[in-house]
Amino acid sequence: MSFASPLFLWYFLPATLLAVLVLPRSWRNGIIAVASLVFYASGAGAFTLLLLACMVVNFAAGTALEPNPWEPRSSRKRSLLIAVICFDVGILVVWKYAGFATQQIDYFTQLFGGSFPVAHLALPIGISFFTFHHISYVVDIYRGERRALRNPVSFVTYIAMFPQLVAGPIVRYREIADQLPQHRSHRMDDIAAGFPRFALGLCKKAIIADSLSPMVEACFATPGDEMTFAIAWLGAVGYTLQLYFDFSGYSDMAIGLGRMLGFRLPENFARPYSSVTVTEFWRRWHMSLSRWFRDYAYIPLGGNRAGAAKTYRNLCIVFVLTGFWHGANWTFLVWGCYHGLLLIIERRFGWDRTPAAVAARVGRRVLTLVLVVFGWVFFKSADIRHAFTMIGHMLVPDFDGLTDVVEAALTNQRVVILIAALAIFALPANPVAGPLLESARTRGAVGLRIGVMTAGALYAAILVANGTFSPFLYYQF
């Protein structure tokens, strides 16, 4: 069930909000837990049993991992933590990477005239996200940063909460533990604050991202012998915009939904395309993922505390993991390594700091954006060969123009949307629209809030009703 579907918008969401609003406050977590499992089961089907099994294991482990004065971080607790993390990672590896791994083994054995059976496993929706939530839960408890949950309903609420279950934001346990007790009293205020944020995300998704999708697909589907400079750049820039408005739109909807239910979910985007360095880009893009890898991978590996060589090693490890976390394909690994290399170069030469001169900042911002656009070509392409073909045409200008298929996809309406979306490249780094829309009381913020909730939400709802919505891009991860 997608946030941008008629079933969710006109039936599931109103019913859930009504139940939370009118039923006793002490029922909130139970209502959210049940609604979340129904939400997940509607799309995942039998994979709901896998989610429940993972929750049972991690909930049981949480209480046993909690430090106490007599046995703080004992070897037994450490062994249990390692075992639980191996279980969580093992589930992710089997379901997400077994097919890819067996396919590579099969390719290798074919070189010697043999064959190897390839596993074909359907990918459970949201497995990358709920795995990271489970790991965050047990690690934060083991470190003594938060107490384990004794109420299984509260645990299900955290892990399976439908606003963030399928595609984030990745909510570390420490960020939400204090919100799980049901102290909420101003329910109408929460709904009033969260709905504009949800409406903003719906507009991003339905009006911009979904409008650009057919054009982007036509560009990336162009065969190599028909690819041109114009098609390559149109596809790369179009996908850069589509991915941002799709994923940041989902995050706005998730944060708005969380707020309407009484939870403050972490921010996930902060104008990433205004970044002056690639280092800054990763402080602004998918911030919840960056924070997760920082806290549970980069810092435990030593961070930047043990000299330059080990810092570069840790960055490489984290970005290899970041690439493969997104999908079982060599294109994601190349994309992760590409960004890791850019971060190492910036750190090595001191280019990770924002220049003082205005002209230098403008130049670095343009360069960072171009580097990010090239990276998205790997992220989107079906294979490495297609990515390099497309990048090759981006680097060599020609005058061949567009194919008939791409021209047919580039309608007047999509040209207008594309031009309007391009404004995101020129906007300043601050203020970020989401938090501004949710809480600011200035005249401009109020006007934006009214526009989004009336004209924007109405137009987006019409598009949804016409069946023009598509699944969120990050559902595949």
User: Is there a single domain that holds both residue 111 and residue 205?
Assistant: no
The answer to the question of residue 283 being in a domain is no
Burial of 242 from C-beta contacts in 10 A (0-12 / 13-18 / 19+): buried
Number of domains the chain contains: 2
pLDDT at 353 over 90: no
The answer to the question of residue 335 being in a domain is no
Q: What is the mean pLDDT of residues 327-349?
A: 93
Residue-level pLDDT at 215: 95
pLDDT at 168 over 90: no
User: Is there a single domain that holds both residue 73 and residue 52?
Assistant: yes
- The amino acid at 455: A
pLDDT at 184 over 70: no
pLDDT at 454 over 80: no
Give the separation between CA 399 and CA 385, rounded to whole angstroms.
23
User: Is there a single domain that holds both residue 63 and residue 204?
Assistant: no
pLDDT at 245 over 80: yes
User: Is there a single domain that holds both residue 197 and residue 156?
Assistant: no
% of the chain exceeding 70 in pLDDT: 96
The answer to the question of residue 326 being in a domain is no
User: Is there a single domain that holds both residue 207 and residue 221?
Assistant: yes
Q: Which of 109-123, 189-203, 229-243 has the highest mean pLDDT?
A: 229-243
Q: What is the mean pLDDT of residues 127-143?
A: 95
Please identify, among 184, 214, 230, the residue that sits at the C-terminal boundary of a domain: 184
Catalytic residue flag (residue 326): yes
User: Domain range for residue 366?
Assistant: 190-276+354-476
Higher pLDDT, 162 or 73: 162
The answer to the question of residue 312 being in a domain is no
Set 326, 339, 386, 393: catalytic member: 326
Residue-level pLDDT at 416: 93
Residue-level pLDDT at 338: 96
User: Is there a single domain that holds both residue 211 and residue 149?
Assistant: no
Residue-level pLDDT at 461: 79
The answer to the question of residue 341 being in a domain is no
User: Is there a single domain that holds both residue 27 and residue 161?
Assistant: yes
Please identify, among 127, 152, 184, the residue that sits at the C-terminal boundary of a domain: 184
What are the pLDDT digits (tens) for 249-299?
Answer: 999 999 999 999 989 999 999 999 999 999 999 999 999 999 999 999 999
What are the pLDDT digits (tens) for 55-106?
Answer: 999 999 999 998 877 666 678 889 999 999 999 999 999 999 988 888 888 8
Please identify, among 156, 184, 212, the residue that sits at the C-terminal boundary of a domain: 184
Q: How confident is the model at residue 468 (pLDDT cuts 50, 70, 90)?
A: low
The answer to the question of residue 211 being in a domain is yes
User: Is there a single domain that holds both residue 35 and residue 168?
Assistant: yes
User: Is there a single domain that holds both residue 140 and residue 223?
Assistant: no
User: Is there a single domain that holds both residue 51 and residue 164?
Assistant: yes
Output b/e per residue, 90-111; b: 16+ Cβ within 10 A.
ebbeebbbebbebeeeeeeeee
Q: What is the mean pLDDT of residues 176-186?
A: 78
What are the pLDDT digits (tens) for 395-406?
Answer: 999 888 899 999
User: Is there a single domain that holds both residue 26 and residue 118?
Assistant: yes
Overall pTM surpassing 0.75 (yes/no): yes
User: Is there a single domain that holds both residue 223 and residue 76?
Assistant: no
